[in-house]
Amino acid sequence: MRREEQWRREELNKRLQGSHQPAKEQHESESTRDVQITHLSESEIDYESGRDELLDILSKKSNIPVSNMNLNQLTPDQLWKILSVLDKLLFDEWISAHPSLSTLQHTQVFITELCALSLDISEGVSLQNISNHVQSLVETISQSTSNDSESFLLTQALYLNLMHFLSDHGSSDTDAVLIAKQWAGEELSTENLFLIEFLSSLTSSLHNTVGRASVFILKMEIQCLKLLLSTLTHLNDRETHSESTEMLLRLVQTNQWTPTEAVTLLAALSQKYAEDASITEVLKLVHVYNISPGWTDESGRSLIQALDSVERFCQDFQNTFRRKDESSLVAALEELKMSWNLEDRETDMIKEITTGVLKYSKTAPDDAPFNKDSLKCDTLNTDNMQKSLFQLCKAVFDTKGWWPSVKQMLRWCVLVLTEKSGALQLVGVEEDPCVTAMFAATRVCMGNKVDIVLSSDVHSQERATEWSDFYKNLGISVNTNMKKPDASYRDVYEADIVFGTISDFISDYFQYSTEVMETGNPLPNRGFIIEEQSLSSSLNLELSRLKDNDSLVFAAEVLQSLMGEIQKHKDVQRARTLSHSTKTEDLQEVLAVLCNAVHLHKAEGKWWPRATQMISWCLLALSDTGKVLEMGTGEGKSCVIAMFAVLRVLRGEKVDVVSSSSVLCQRDAERWNNFYKCFGVTADANTNKIKDKDRKECYQKDVVYGTIEAFAADHLRQTFEMKDVRPDRSYQCIIIDEVDSLLLDQGVQLTYLSSPMVSMQHLNVILTMIWSHVRQYGFLSAEHQTFVQGPPTLFFKAIFDSIDTEGTEISDPMDILRIAEESETVPKGFTEDIFQNEKDELLGKLKSVSQDAVVDFFQKIEDYIPCGFTIYTLDDEGLLCVRKRSPYNNQDIPELKFLVLEEGLCCPLYDSEEILIKPIAELISGKIQYTPCTNNKDKISIPGFLKDLVEKKVSVWVQNAFLAIQLKEGQEYVVEKDNVCPVDFRSTGIVELNKKWGDGLQQFIEIKHQIKLSTISTVTNYVSNISFFEKYQGKIYGATGTLGSKTDMLFLQDLYPTLSACKIPTFNRKKLFEVRGTLKTSDEEWKSEIKRVVMAQISPDSYRGGRAALVICETINKAKEIYKELQSSIPGKVILYCRHDRDSLSKIDEKLLPGDVIVATNLAGRGTDIKVNKEVNKNGGLFVILSFLSENTRVELQAFGRTARKGKPGSAQVIMSTDHLSQSFRTVSSLEEAKSTRDRRAAEKINHMMNDVTELKLREDLFSEYCKTLEDIHKNTDGDDKRAVVAVMNEFWGIWLQTKSEDIDQLKRSDLQKSLKADLSLAKSQSQSKLHQVQAFITTSSLEISL
């Protein structure tokens, strides 16, 4: 065994080595393509633990570090180790305990990439295109798996496929390759050949893995075959053989042939017949007569051996089959008798009918007309049924080209005899389409209308189309109940036969049952046939209870009783009475009332709350200590929130519902208003209220929707400004939508009311002076570092200003110039000329000094001073490039950096602005004088009471001036109507119209854009999100699509100890496939890749139609760039979505069609429901591109959550560029490394937030102390006196806070509290004393005037 294993290893190594090098070379030429293995957004999967699980397992078992697992860098021996690990995992360790779905799909992507790398690459062939294509195929197959077990089988099959490519590849042509060569005439591209062999081999591998686990052919096997056949029919961009491949697919879909057997049959037929029509005719007979792969004719020949000329074969085949079929009549009838428990009389009658039809069919004229009247008699006798069956069989033959089999005729007879009276109510039938069609036609001819219930819209449409010619031949009308914009209910159900899904039929039934009760108009009397497969696809309606042991029940009665059961629970008053109970039966009744109200007053009779929504409501209802739920994106959080809000109101509480967006708040308050009215509950939103009286009216409502900023601001208006906005509303219950965003991303956010103070206007002149200095600096990047560029100056002066001259003979800039003259950097006599010339002439002389000469001088000057110089110049693209590096590697010898320009000028470069803050702050401070003082015309005058504030804050202002230079319009902020508005671009993408930056940053940006300068605001009041939520005494409830990692949850539990969390499984299995991400190294490559992927996804190809796409960008600027890049190429609509207002939302409210694209910021990444039409879902769903590295995993998952909603399919991919990463990320070489670094930093940020919480609590306590003083002033003073004292005290408090900011940062709690009490007491007495002096002065003046 060891020798065999060694031989296999050597063979694989040769194969791997042969394929690895060309793959590596092409990867390097096209761009570095790392395998990114990330997982799907499954609500039951822990993202953080699952995301790295596969790489961790492979690394641990193969002893290869995760950081080295880059496929284009692995050696053949390392790849062998990984393959050995995968082999043991897939066929040993994981069999008894499957890993998570996330890990399985990581494994699928990993193995598929290895398959692509095994390809022998010839010149001109793009490995990247092939890899992308094959990954897309695997994505499509993966989406068709029904559960984790099937996903595991697919992963096993992919591994077997990989083994084929590494060992047997190219040894002989597969059946599919033979077909391709036959159909394409040997003109096969390398890509097509690889894809065909990949899918063909995977088809066989799936047969091997599935065959051990299931006797049925699984959907993923059929999907794989579909893709193979689609590729074969579109070889070299020409569509051929579509009819034969469609017929072949039917053989597999009806479980007659396995995909492998079917492909083998097609290969044999392709070798014998050149015409597609001939192949199709043979396959049609095989399908119709249910011929198995082991069939033989009377001479013992197999199907392949019996093939000769098509015409002769078909004739001989039908005659042979007819004889065999007729000979099986007795056995088939006996089997039918036992399974249906038929009486002898019935059996004899069926035999006579069938035998008579078989005899009559041989002699009957071809043009015998169909007679509907034969089925209208009250009693179905043998003669009438015989004539009817013959005419039905003939209609099948005339439209389909084949005669129904004996078994099909027998089944028709049984159905007609057992279902001959009353309304047709046939449930759980397992008939083939021919029997169903013949039986439905019979019932229509008997005067009934029939609904045929199938498992999906696709099947309904296909069946209706397939049998429309048969029904038309009999004069029977057909329709489907899929929603059509111009078709009414009665238009659809006027048809004799209607195909559709159970959900659509039930929805129509309930909707029009309500109409019957209201209008008295009768519903059409229709029977129904519910096929077996449609029952398993309708678990949400619990239609399994429509089946009993005999598979036949009166489904209509069940539906009627279900309707009646729901209608019982409409008693709102009883729900109010039961709402305080926690008994199961009481909550059941309350829930039923709520569900009924949702159905009638929100859904307008079209849908009901799902089981998962009811479970979520129960979890919230049973908790008195707070509960947060993780509900998958698109699972209906707003419905759960509204239902729970009503429960709390019925219990006598006021409910505040908090969301991350003002527009979403107003939308939900409006959309659920009718539902609330049903219970007498009032609701409103607080985000659009400007006047205090409107705010007060809003808070008198039972349920108030709003943002945390609006709630917190109104709280401050009530408690700090003493305004009457929410006087009687206590903090009883809060429900938080997108709870992770508000508790985590914005957990330590402060909300404050702006407090403009006249005295703060004196600071504007200081801010202007700071800006005039700081604006001379700029920021430049070189390699992986960003420098601060100083203002350009004469090279000798720049050197002198930067060095420490102590211990040198240099005491003046001219000494540096003399050294330059001695070293011939400048001409002889240059220094003397400088003394005699004016400044303009000096600059003119310096033009003669070349850039290269100055660069060389920096090396020469190192001999005179103890410094090392690193010198940069600018290249043609304006980027820094190194011309000279410091010769020293000694910390004791300083390194100075300069950018050398033309004409003798250079700029100092600083590693950080931190170096400059102190000297600039000292320079500014030296130009300020505080009144009262002796006036100095060279200094600016500032009131003396602001001295402490200025001295404490001047360094912060300088720092923020540098920050203002770095902030970019369209990224961190926008300018609208001469207002600077911050943008939360990292998380929600919202333009925060009501926010302003503090500490001068707002003013510096206003100066930067030359708009009206606002007065620097002083924070005199504030409340943190944490403090606000704590007011609800633990009654915090919420829901989100992404609760986050264990670190996130531990942080929340530290803040809110009584809060518990629960993950709700998705209603339907999530069908999101994450495509391997791409990391580009330049902005142009990034844009080009996004355009390529978008065009590939929205354009139809050989195996699917076009999709719609959503591109989420980090900033408004980037969104506009991508929008411009795509605008001219997109066949459908291109929508730019960067503003969160009603107009912008209306643009994305319509359903996207194939070819449509939305380009958006993170606005589209959270809480936005992007709708697509059925065709897009049929073609794979919405394709989401996240074009940047999100701040954390939750933001990424929210973005991916825009697709694959409510059980629909979808895909997502990260496409990012290193150009857009922050400096600390620039060294990453793969997307995996970037995400790993991101996640580590996100965890560190959460840990640091606890320090921020400690600081916040200190600030809150100080504010509470101040509020006590303020409250005392409000109690003991009145009118104008009160306003005057409050204004003085607020100004004092605001300045005190700013001067103590350093102590607050250092958490000097005890010192601060003592200081505040003393300072407040002094300020209060001084303000009241001044007020008395003013009053005395006014009184005295009044007396003098009166005298």
Residues 765-790: tens digit of each pLDDT = 999 999 999 999 988 877 667 899 99
Whose tokens are 């009806």? That residue is 254
Please say if the pLDDT value at position 1346 is more than 50.
no
The residues with which 900 forms a beta bridge, in sequence order, are: 906
CB 493 within 8 A of CB 415: no
Average pLDDT over residues 164-192: 77
Give me the pLDDT at residue 497, please.
Answer: 92
Residue 684 parent element (H or E): strand 683-685
The residues with which 905 forms a beta bridge, in sequence order, are: 794
Average pLDDT over residues 92-116: 85
Q: Is the pTM of this model over 0.95?
A: no
Q: Between 806 and 21, where is the model more confident?
A: 806
Please say if the pLDDT value at position 567 is more than 80.
no
Average pLDDT over residues 1305-1317: 88
CA 177-180-181 angle, to 5 degrees, is 90
Tokens describing residue 568: 């019982």
Average pLDDT over residues 111-123: 76
User: In this structure, are strands 895-900 and 905-910 parallel, antiparallel, or unpaired?
Assistant: antiparallel
Q: Between 1053 and 540, where is the model more confident?
A: 1053
How far is 317 from 302, CA to CA, in rounded Å? 12
pLDDT tens digits, residue range 1081-1117? 888 999 999 999 999 999 988 778 899 999 999 888 8
Give me the pLDDT at residue 537, please.
Answer: 44
The fraction of the chain above a pLDDT of 90, given in percent, is 17
Which of 1-5, 1292-1296, 1302-1306 shows the lowest mean pLDDT across its residues? 1-5
600: which DSSP letter?
A: I
Classify 945 as helix, strand or coil: helix
How far is 910 from 1210, CA to CA, in rounded Å? 48
Q: Between 905 and 1240, where is the model more confident?
A: 905
Please say if the pLDDT value at position 34 is more than 60.
no
Please say if the pLDDT value at position 11 is more than 60.
no
Q: Between 593 and 1050, where is the model more confident?
A: 593
Residue 1250 parent element (H or E): helix 1231-1276
Whose tokens are 């009215």? That residue is 677
Give me the pLDDT at residue 858, please.
Answer: 92
How far is 810 from 749, CA to CA, in rounded Å? 53
Compute CA distances 909 → 292, 796, 968, whole Å. Answer: 81, 15, 22
Give me the pLDDT at residue 17, please.
Answer: 46
Give the HSE-up count for residue 869: Cα atoms under 13 Å, Cβ half-sphere.
28
Q: Confidence class of residue 20 from pLDDT cuts 50, 70 and 90?
A: very low
Give the HSE-up count for residue 1218: Cα atoms under 13 Å, Cβ half-sphere.
19
Mean pLDDT of the chain: 80
Give me the pLDDT at residue 374, please.
Answer: 55
Which of 113-117, 130-134, 251-255, 705-709 shows the lowest mean pLDDT across its residues? 251-255
Q: CB-based burial of residue 790 (10 Å sphere; 0-12 exposed, 13-18 middle, 19+ buried)?
A: buried
Report helix, strand and coil shares of the chain as percent, to nearest 5.
Answer: 55, 10, 30
CB 1213 within 8 A of CB 1097: no
Q: Between 70 and 617, where is the model more confident?
A: 617
Give me the pLDDT at residue 35, please.
Answer: 33
Which of 263-267, 539-543, 692-696, 1012-1016 shows the lowest mean pLDDT across its residues? 539-543
CB 766 within 8 A of CB 940: yes
Give me the pLDDT at residue 51, please.
Answer: 47
Q: CB-based burial of residue 609 (10 Å sphere; 0-12 exposed, 13-18 middle, 19+ buried)?
A: buried
Helix intervals (H) in 1056-1082? none
Total count of residues recorded for the chain: 1347
Query: DSSP E strands: which ranges in 1209-1287?
Result: 1209-1217
CB 933 within 8 A of CB 939: no
Please say if the pLDDT value at position 1179 is more than 90.
no
How far is 294 from 137, CA to CA, in rounded Å? 32
Which of 196-200, 249-253, 361-365, 918-922 shows the lowest mean pLDDT across its residues? 361-365
Q: Confidence class of residue 15 from pLDDT cuts 50, 70 and 90?
A: very low
CA 207-209-215 angle, to 5 degrees, is 65
Please say if the pLDDT value at position 311 is more than 80.
no
CB 101 within 8 A of CB 1066: no
Among 639-648, 1031-1040, 1041-1050, 1163-1172, top mean pLDDT goes to 639-648
Classify 745 as helix, strand or coil: helix
Q: Between 702 and 1230, where is the model more confident?
A: 702
Please say if the pLDDT value at position 900 is more than 90.
yes
Compute CA distances 597 → 67, 279, 605, 678, whole Å. Answer: 55, 58, 10, 7
Please say if the pLDDT value at position 76 is more than 60.
yes
Whose tokens are 């030296």? That residue is 926
Q: CB-based burial of residue 876 (10 Å sphere; 0-12 exposed, 13-18 middle, 19+ buried)?
A: exposed
CB 1006 within 8 A of CB 976: no
Q: How far is CA 1244 from the centre of its chain?
A: 24
Give me the pLDDT at residue 379, please.
Answer: 61
CA 346-349-350 angle, to 5 degrees, is 85
Give me the pLDDT at residue 1328, please.
Answer: 67
Give me the pLDDT at residue 50, please.
Answer: 44
Please say if the pLDDT value at position 142 is more than 50.
yes
pLDDT tens digits, residue range 380-416? 788 888 888 888 988 888 888 778 888 889 889 888 8
Give me the pLDDT at residue 486, please.
Answer: 56
Give me the pLDDT at residue 549, please.
Answer: 29
Q: Confidence class of residue 706 from pLDDT cuts 50, 70 and 90?
A: very high
